[in-house]
Amino acid sequence: MYNYYLRRLLGVGGFGGVFLAEERVREIMLRELAVKLILYDEDDETNDQLNELRQATHLEHPNLVRAHTAGACELNGMDFLYLVMEKGEYSLLDRIQQQPLSIAETKTLIRHVAAALKYLHQQGKVHRDLKPGNV
């Protein structure tokens, strides 16, 4: 059984909050991760939320954050779905707040983001929340 300990909120989007978390077994930290919590929609008869999480764990591209697993949990009497992902070192927002990107960095970034979006579109997916904090 996995044990994820939420440490702090990293960001909030239209579909939930993302937390810095630790994966622990018997109080030993295995690794830091990002955990996205999504309030479960009990009226979702088509299981769209669950299908989206399942599909996210099968996406593999060098320019996408890797999703390890997904599940369901209860917090404070509310039902949530969660997606466990690798934790990025920093976001584009963090980077550009420190200093602007060079022309070369901008071109490389655009190529990487475009390649990731092309891959998603080939999988029939749309990102829906593309912003500097998510790059």
Residues annotated as part of the active site: 129
Give me the DSSP letters along 11-60: EEETTEEEEEEEEEETTEEEEEEEEEEEE--TT-TT-HHHHHHHHHTT--
